[in-house]
Amino acid sequence: MSSSSITSGGVGERGVPSKCACGLDVKIFTSKTQENPGRPFFRCVSKRDVNTWTSKRDWVEDAVFEEVQDALPRLSIIANEISKIKAEVNEIDAMARKSEDLYVRLSKRA
Ligand SMILES: [Zn+2]
């Protein structure tokens, strides 16, 4: 699985991890513990990486929740930007129509 352009931290950071701190990919594994049977989590692909294999688990549901939590405020910023740009486009459109009218009037006069 190739990593996406979504801003993501490594294992142990907020959101969906893209790479482990060691540089290797992070994969989804399934918990086989009695407390969390079948629960998916992110972990370094190298099982020899003690840093990620012994530290706390990055549960997929927590990471996805964090990702959504962080993305929502960004979405409203983007929505604001889009409506600003739409207003600008309308202005430019109006200006273009005005100059078109002016051109038509001037060319009729000539
Ligand atoms: Zn690693």
Domain ranges of the chain: 26-83
pTM, 2 dp: 0.58
Q: Which residues pair with 19 in a beta bridge?
A: 25
**Cα-to-centroid distance, 5 and ligand 1 (Å):** 20
**Cα-to-centroid distance, 74 and ligand 1 (Å):** 30
Two tokens at 17?
A: 């991890």
**Cα-to-centroid distance, 10 and ligand 1 (Å):** 9
**Cα-to-centroid distance, 92 and ligand 1 (Å):** 52
Q: Which residues pair with 40 in a beta bridge?
A: 30
Residue 30 is classified by DSSP as: E
Q: What is the pLDDT tens value at each position of the chain, 110 positions in all?
A: 444 434 455 555 688 888 888 888 989 999 998 999 999 998 888 877 776 665 567 899 999 999 999 999 999 999 999 999 999 999 999 999 999 999 999 998 86
Q: Residues with beta carbon < 5 A to ion ligand 1?
A: 20, 22, 24, 44, 49, 52
- The confidence score (pLDDT) of residue 103 equals 94
